[in-house]
Structure 1
């Protein structure tokens, strides 16, 4: 067990102002998170703290994360789209998600009832890593750049170069983030706030 995860469970992820307070989402699901942690560790994965949440790896490859949301706790697989999911119980974290798939839980009993199945999915995810399988992400030219981003990249060559040098996943993350608001001004504001990170070669979720 990684002591950093003990801190996460006790204090929260610290990614927002609620971290370290009773209002942190982590405190909504203490039993569920601890149970999921136990299950994943029982499958032999290495426990690390990444992006402020418990991340479980196989030979340094990210396999799954355990995390808390407002309405549920979850076990999410980085390459869940490659799992067979014969039971059809994995869900996408968002409609634009290409790789990740997750279990959602709102009480311990739900976890207890399918513990063996959860482990089977984890072992399958490990086999995916052993086999070196990759998710076939849609290519850049299939991504719809919002007009505000096109204009900014056209007027800022250095930014355009930095953006195009990002990995496909990082570009996609930014494009989704920039495209979500309905108002053009909000989309532009989001782009402006991310320029520094893009110039540093970082993704939207990178610190």
Structure 2
């Protein structure tokens, strides 16, 4: 391993929160050298080492107590013919996949490049898991107010579904009756004027 690369690996490891110790300095350096043979662009996000294409996250590098790893942001779409990928947080993580290594001898450059190039192709093709649309929280108090005031209801229905959802959640999260009343008094003029609940933060 070149001295310059080793020095960079040690420097990144000191700052990268995904590298928990200096146990895998040289091994991570080897992974970095492989990744740098592709068209991916190295950057830093969330304090960690991330590689992107067209400003889209493709993979990251990390080191932990028992293994060092490549993170594939949309690894769920990789064919994984070698069966090396794992879901680091089953039931929570949907797209992210890890390729874990416990020794430099497990680093197969040709195989790794095959996975990385497939990940790049998938990103260019736009493969990604779309976030699930959550239904707006119901609020009987707010619904009653809309049903009672037809003018208010008509004004409310002019908002986009996203802005309507913000109003619903704002009302639904009020636990006490007096809080619901106070919130309704606040948003009624906003609705009548066509102002979204969070419009002031979108400027």
TM-score w.r.t. the length of structure 2 is: 0.59
User: Judging changes above 3 Å, is the alpha-carbon distance between structure 1 residues 4 and 58 closer, same or farther for their aligned structure 2 residues?
Assistant: farther
Which position in structure 2 is the counterpart of 1:20? none
CA shift, 1:129, in A, is: 1.3
Matches within 5 A, 1:2-151: 7-9=11-13, 11-13=14-16, 25-95=20-90, 96-111=92-107, 114-140=108-134
Deviations 1:114-150 (A, max 9, x none): 2211110000010011111222444436xxxxxxxx9
Q: Structure 1: where are the runs of 5+ without partners?
A: 16-23, 142-149, 158-199, 202-207
TM-score w.r.t. the length of structure 1 is: 0.58
CA contact (8 A) 1:81 1:99 kept: yes
CA distance in 2, matches of 1:26, 1:57: 24
Deviations 1:137-196 (A, max 9, x none): 44436xxxxxxxx9xx72397xxxxxxxxxxxxxxxxxxxxxxxxxxxxxxxxxxxxxxx
CA shift, 1:93, in A, is: 1.2
Q: Structure 2: where are the runs of 5+ without partners?
A: 136-168, 184-200
**Over alpha carbons, which structure has the higher Rg?**
2
Query: Displaced runs of 4+ in structure 1, greater than 4 A?
Result: 1-6, 136-139
Which position in structure 1 is the counterpart of 2:143? none
CA distance in 2, matches of 1:28, 1:5: 12
**Considering only aligned residues, what root-mean-square deviation do their CA atoms show, in Å?**
3.2
CA contact (8 A) 1:12 1:25 kept: no
